[in-house]
Amino acid sequence: MAVCGRIIKGKYYDSVSLMTLSKRLLEVDGVKESVAVMGTLENKAVLESSGLIIPEFKESIDTDLLIAIQADDENLARQALAAADNILAGLVKADNDALDSGPWSLEGAFTRIPDANLALISVSGKYAAGMAMNSLRLGIHVMLFSDNVPLKSEIELKRFAREKGLLVMGPDCGTAIINGVPLGFANVVNRGNIGIVAASGTGLQEVTCLISNNGAGISQAIGTGSRDLKSEVGAITFLEATNLLLADDATGIILLISKPPDHSVVEKIAAVLKDISKPVVTVFLGQDSDLIKGENVHSASTLEESALLAVALSLGENPDKVHEKIVARDRKLQELATTEVFRVAKGRKFVRGLFSGGTFCSEAQLILKGMGLEISSNVPISGAGKLAQAAKASGHDFIDFGSDEFTVGKPHPMIDFSLRNKSLIGLATDAETAVILLDIVLGYGANENPLAEIIPAIIQARGIAASYGKCPAIICSVTGTNEDPQNRGRVVAELEKAGVSVAESNAAACKLAGFIAGKFEEKA
Amino acid sequence: MGDCILPGLINSFGDLLCEGEYHLHSRFRSAVNFLSGDSLASVVTHCVGPGPMNIVVDGAAVVESLTICRDSILLNGISFPRSAEMRYDSRVNISKVLDTEQLRINIAVASNCLLESSSPRSLVFLLDGARDVGSESSFEREFVRRTRMGAALLFGGNAKTGTLALRGLGFGLTPSGDDFLSGVLTAYVTVARHPGIDFDEESEIIYRNGRGRNPMSNALLRCAKDGFLPEKYKTAVEAVVNHDKSSIGRPIRTLLEVGETSGADFAVGLVLGLKNVIGSKGHQKWLYAAA
């Protein structure tokens, strides 16, 4: 084992950069340990105790950056040190690119792009509303990625926008596809004639991908923000966007996605849809499927069903066949469940869902509750139990790792898998876990290399579980397309190689999990 | 100014900014740090927010030069007025009456909030040993051991040795140990304004021995000693010391957004410092159990 190191003087990097550097160096072949810290006396003492000191470090001062690498031999350690230069250069370049790319104010942006007609705003919630209002006053639409915008400001912005004939997508709007351009967390999907309005980011991603993967395409995908269908806001964006799609020549079918709207809002939506001229598919997760009726309205109970209905309408197929298609697919899932059960040890009986997408967690609860399971979650749906402590498994538990308790001060779990991986490995030692249910979301903004994050955790979990007897089944849905930067096909193939059952949608994954749990209950 | 890119208007400036001509120290995406002698001034974006030595502007990253005069601030040679309404008041406001029962509840709430929401790489393991899940890295193992030892010394009657053990310890431009010490110092300074609580000596020891050659750490420590803090820190401290438990979660979570672990490390220091204060008054034994 050899240790190499270097001192960098007069350059300063923030803690995120230093931790990124340490992490990336560990990925270099042969590297056993890597550290990048400031050269304080105390850090040098720690380096010494850890066997990571080199004589040159002793001369360093508090403001020097020390990089220490321990590798199988000196040659590998030196190669890693050379890699450190490249990694740091890359981090600096990313910062410089950000600096160069500017602009740094709304006015500056307009100087550069005078014909811009949409502002994507992602600043602290405290300042977001003001910036959004300035954008609206300049006559441009707004996508408000920021959250923590007061409800009062949201109402004020949306009312103002409506008067001006503009759209406010958000606050807390993470996904949109406008004129083929993906904004925020979005996927590379086919263009087509299906226009979507959604009050759910991951829901929108799931549906756009399923549509694309089933041979149809998207005209526009408009996010509204999760509070838009509350009575206080009155679905202003939802209705404005629906009307825009109605007037849009490129849109032939309209798909509406939301959790159950407030009662007063349902009436407003119903009034718009009653005599609508274009076919509309609705999915109000957790609400009666015939919540809103109309001659041209087709209701779905899952994201998957809504996507398939829209595809059928888009391709000129009979939408009634969609139900039959899903029933036939579910029969296959039941058969698969029978085989999966034999791979799972006796005594294991619970489904544990570890989700990065909030809507997926809600949909999983709805589906599995509908299949008769008694469920709990840190973000429970109506009728589900509240997990007192999100990390402790006790029954059929569903955890949304995107909720505030896990994400404050940390990247979203669609980007950083570490917390969920920890739970995944922890569940492997739990003798009652029969099924671990996961979601992976691909596309722009999501983790660029999800396999490198999740596969080692799955292998470790399976290894640990095997030492206790048979493993729990691991079932995963992958939201994405083969055109996404991560390539869904490749991700699915690698997951399957690692022993994971990959379903074509979140709904299918949940049903498979439910069928397996049902088989265990039959046995009991 | 040639091709110089203009920063946006100044939105706020800190109340501890010193006059002088500053030179560039370090530049990040959301903050550009300048020094004039020992004085620090940071030009920052909204996401960093107001602070005693912060100047909040749109487009902080394009600022190349800074001069602070009595009535104006010059960014890239352009003069902006120092109008009173833009002055950020960084003094931590503490209620005159300290309700120790309420404080004890608030400390527990803040502690739980930190355990739930802090980065795994922060010093939150000092609040609950179970949060230290172990590491394959010998550096991290040794870091954890030394941090525990330093905290045990600091709160176990040996403030000087504890401070020296923690100063400069850990990752980041402001190492975790420095953020932690600033949190402890804030706890001592804020409650030490109340009759019957005397942590002046400990505060002085931490301040004197906690200073090193890192201007950012030194600035935070000095602010903490004098009871002045950046907005996200100040709001969290005031919530824990002044308000009821329902007002604590959000400001603590906002504080956790500072840096990778800086906000969390400061908050852990604050919580343990306050626990120590309560324990010292004989109301309750100090609950912390360091290795």
CB contact under 8 A, B8 and A126: no
H-helix or E-strand spanning residue A121: strand A118-121
CATH class in words for A2-101: alpha beta
Partner residue facing B46 (CB), from A36, A103, A124 = A124
Q: Which residue do the tokens 């923030």 mark?
A: A14
**How many beta-carbon pairs below 8 A join chains A and B?**
143
In this structure, the strands spanning A385-386 and A375-377 are parallel
pLDDT grade, residue A11 (50/70/90)? Answer: confident
CA distance A437 to A406: 18
Q: What's the alpha-carbon Rg for chain A, to the nearest Å?
A: 25
Cβ–Cβ of A50/B139 closer than 8 Å? yes
Q: For position B133, what pLDDT does the model report?
A: 54
pTM equals 0.60
Residues of chain B positioned with their CB less than 8 A from the CB of A52: 138-139
B172/A18 touch (CB, cutoff 8 Å), yes or no: yes
CA distance B233 to chain A (A): 14
The most confident of A357-371, B90-104, B113-127, by mean pLDDT: A357-371
Tell me the C-alpha distance between A30 and A80, whole Å: 9
- Alpha helical stretches, state H, chain B: 100-117, 138-155, 159-166, 176-191, 200-210, 215-226, 231-242, 249-255, 262-280
What is the percent of chain B where pLDDT is above 70? 88
pLDDT value of position B283: 35
For residues A385 and A376, the answer to whether their CB atoms sit within 8 Å is yes
Nearest-CB residue to B260 (from A19, A46, A68): A19
pLDDT digits (tens, 9 = 90+) for A384-418: 998 865 456 778 999 998 886 776 556 788 888 88
Sign of the CA dihedral with A465 first, then A471, A473, and A474 last? positive
Question: Which regions of chain A carry the CATH code 3.30.70?
Answer: 2-101
In this predicted structure, the answer to whether residue A70 has a pLDDT above a threshold of 50 is yes
Which residues, in sequence order, are CB contacts of A112 under 8 Å at separation 6+? A102, A103
Cα–Cα distance between A425 and A421 in angstroms, integer? 6
Yes or no, beta carbons of A35 and B139 under 8 Å apart: yes
Measured from the Cβ of residue A266, the count of other Cβ atoms closer than 10 Å reads: 18
pLDDT at B280: 61
3-state secondary structure at position B179: helix
Residue A121 has φ and ψ, to the nearest 5°, of: -110, 125
Q: What is the mean pLDDT of residues B221-246?
A: 92
Instruction: Choose from A12, A16, A19, A104 for mutation: most chain B CBs within 10 A.
Output: A104
Instruction: Give the closest-approach CA distance of B69 to chain A in angstroms.
Output: 25
CB atoms within 10 A of CB A41: 17
Hey, which residues does A376 pair with through a beta bridge?
A385, A397
Q: What is the pLDDT, as a whole number, of residue A140? A: 93
CA distance A97 to chain B (A): 10
**Between B101 and A169, where is the model more confident?**
A169
Residue A112 pLDDT? 77
Mind listing the pLDDT tens digit for each residue in A41-51? 888 988 888 88
The C-alpha atoms of residue A369 and residue A384 are separated, in whole angstroms, by 8
Of B62, B139, B146, the CB nearest to A33: B139
What's the fold here for domain A325-523?
Rossmann fold (3.40.50)
Give the per-residue pLDDT at A32: 87
Two tokens, residue A356: 């990065």
Residue B168's SS3 state is coil
- A76-113 b/e (C-beta count within 10 Å ≥ 16 → b): bbebbbebbeebbeebeeebeeeeeeebbbbebbbeee
* pLDDT (tens digit per residue) in B9-61: 788 999 999 999 999 988 887 889 999 988 999 999 888 889 999 999 876 66
pLDDT in tens, A178-187: 999 999 999 9
Q: List, in sequence order, every beta strand (DSSP E) within A171-330.
A: 175-178, 181-184, 191-198, 218-223, 253-258, 280-284, 297-300
Q: How many CB atoms lie under 10 A from the CB of residue A2?
A: 15
**Residue of chain A whose Cα is closest to the Cα of B116:** A405
Banded model confidence at residue B136, pLDDT cuts 50, 70, 90: low
3-class DSSP state for residue A477?
strand
pLDDT > 70 in chain A, percent? 93
Lowest mean pLDDT among A284-288, A294-298, B208-212: A284-288
Task: Please indicate whether, in this complex, the C-beta atoms of B139 and A62 are within 8 angstroms of each other.
Answer: no
Question: In the predicted model, is pLDDT for residue A91 greater than 80?
Answer: no
Note the pLDDT of residue B59: 62
What are the residue boundaries of the structural domains of chain B, listed by start?
A: 10-88, 100-280
Domain(s) of CATH 3.40.50.261: residues in chain A = 173-317, 325-523
| Kind of pairing between the strands at B10-14 and A501-503 | unpaired
Average pLDDT of chain A to the nearest whole number: 89
Question: To the nearest whole number, what is the mean pLDDT of chain B?
Answer: 84
Express as a percent the part of chain A with pLDDT over 90. 56
pLDDT(B144) > 70: yes
Beta strand pairing call for B39-44 and A501-503: unpaired
Tokens linked to B137? 């890295």
What pLDDT, on a 0 to 100 scale, did the predictor assign at position A34? 87
Average pLDDT over residues B209-219: 90
Which chain B residues are within 8 Å of A404, Cβ to Cβ?
117, 253
Is a pLDDT exceeding 50 seen at residue A522? yes
A173-317: CATH topology: Rossmann fold (3.40.50)
Q: CA B119, CA B269: separation in Å to the nearest integer?
A: 15
Q: Is A159 helix (H, G, I), strand (E, B) or coil?
A: helix
Average pLDDT estimate for B201-215: 91
Dig out the tokens for A207 from the structure.
Answer: 């549906």
CB-nearest to A46 from B47, B117, B143 is B143
pLDDT for the residue B8: 57
If you average pLDDT over each of A67-81, A215-229, B149-163, which comes out highest?
A: A215-229
A425-483 pLDDT, tens digit per residue, is: 888 778 888 999 999 999 998 998 999 999 999 998 888 887 777 788 999 999 999 99
pLDDT in tens, A335-389: 999 888 877 767 778 999 999 999 999 999 999 999 999 999 989 998 999 886 5
CB contacts of A99 in chain B (<8 Å) are 29, 61-62
Mean pLDDT of A204-220: 97
User: Given this model, what pLDDT does residue A97 score?
Assistant: 62
A226-255 confidence digits (pLDDT tens): 899 999 999 999 999 999 999 999 999 999
Euclidean distance between CA atoms A373 and A362, whole angstroms: 14
Sheet architecture: strand order including A2-8: A2-8, A65-71, A31-38
